[in-house]
Amino acid sequence: MAGDNRSLHIIHCDLDAFFAAVEQNDNPELKGKPVIVGGSAGSRGVVSTCSYEARKFGVRSAMPTARARRLCPQGIFLPVRMHRYLEVSRQVFAILSDYTPLIEPLSIDEAFLDISGTQKLFGSPEDIGREIKQRVKSELGLTISVGISYNKFLAKLASDLEKPDGLCVIPHEKALEMLRPLPVTKLWGVGEKTRQALEHLGLTTIGDIQDLPPGWLMERMGPSGQHYWELARGIDRRQVITHEERKSIGRETTFPDDVDDMLLLQRTINAFAAELCRKLRREKLYCSTVTLKLRYNSFKTVSRSKTIAPSHADMVIDEAAQELLRMSYSGSPPLRLIGLSLGKLSAVPDWEQGDLFAETSKYEKLDMLMDQICQRFGSQVIRRGNQLNHRGD
């Protein structure tokens, strides 16, 4: 379906307070109570999701758990049970797939649907939205907010306007009117820095942007300015993408206490490299960039990248990451977080592997043997020497 099509063919589905709702559904005693799911306050954890009862106290997702506990001391704090949320998510997506094969997941609790051509089978877009809501509620005991419009931006906006348990439609003829009074932060991609930049230009509402002549915002903000101007006028040409090629994988950790111990940092990278490379080999992928992320105790964050020949070998990736660490960190100030990501992923066929991949192939048999042992007996049963701790266990 063309991006400028004005028919109501895009649905955005967003489960309400998903993690907390699953916990309340699994344990009825929690219903109606302020449930907060996330990391513990003592380990610098953050809130993953909270129930609407907790939101009345000012608790929000991504807030430090310690602050959430101060705002809502009577809250019920629970750890993340990702395996359970994934199980329920699969059940929700199974329901969605009954209405169209064109589904673009945004996360485990959110997705776009393109219902072009399915309305003769299931009725109007509103009928489909209502039926999805009814099935999710009756079959899984959860509420889901549904937004319907003629493009992705407006469908996502619609699902947010009447949360929780909402069903909102933004037709073409009412789009500009509905957008006009909303703050600029409702535009997809406008965060705090962009909000400040727009306000510096005297633009606080979407209507302010609608009134600008074409090209005015692009002259001042570049291509992103044109993007925001188009969204403000209800224009979004993006299609629902059902299979998007994975571009990178990563792993990071926030330390319980600030760290300046180089040996601990090196071994953390060792572990990350081994874990990520196992994933690459399992999916028959190679990476061509290695990126190290460091966040200091001042919250300043830096990233450094290195390009390598396509590889999924532990030793090759670890060597590149350790080089980035040596180049980027001298032992002070202490670090709050460290992360490793592997990018430019590709599936390299066997016939392309020659001298270019000599470093990878040199370790291939050992890596594959270790993978087999870990798969059978667990990931901790065998480790390389550079992953042993200070006591040499």
* Strand-pair partners of 287: 311
| Inter-residue contact 232 to 187 (CB < 8 Å) | yes
Q: Closest Cα to residue 336, out of 309, 296, 303, 367?
A: 296
Options 110, 173, 199, 359, the catalytic residue: 110
Q: Closest Cα to residue 37, out of 85, 86, 76?
A: 76
Which contacts qualify for 274-279: CB closer than 8 Å, 24 or more apart?
274/314, 274/318, 274/383, 274/384, 274/387, 275/251, 275/379, 276/249, 276/250, 276/251, 276/317, 276/340, 276/341, 276/342, 277/312, 277/313, 277/314, 277/317, 277/342, 277/367, 278/371, 278/374, 278/379, 279/249
First-to-final CA distance of the chain: 59
392 SS3 class: coil
Q: How many CA atoms lie within 13 A of 27 on its CB side?
A: 10
Q: Give, as one character, the DSSP assignment of residue 46.
A: B
Residue 110: active-site member: yes
Dist CA 377 CA 380 (whole Å): 8
Instruction: Report the catalytic residues.
Output: 110
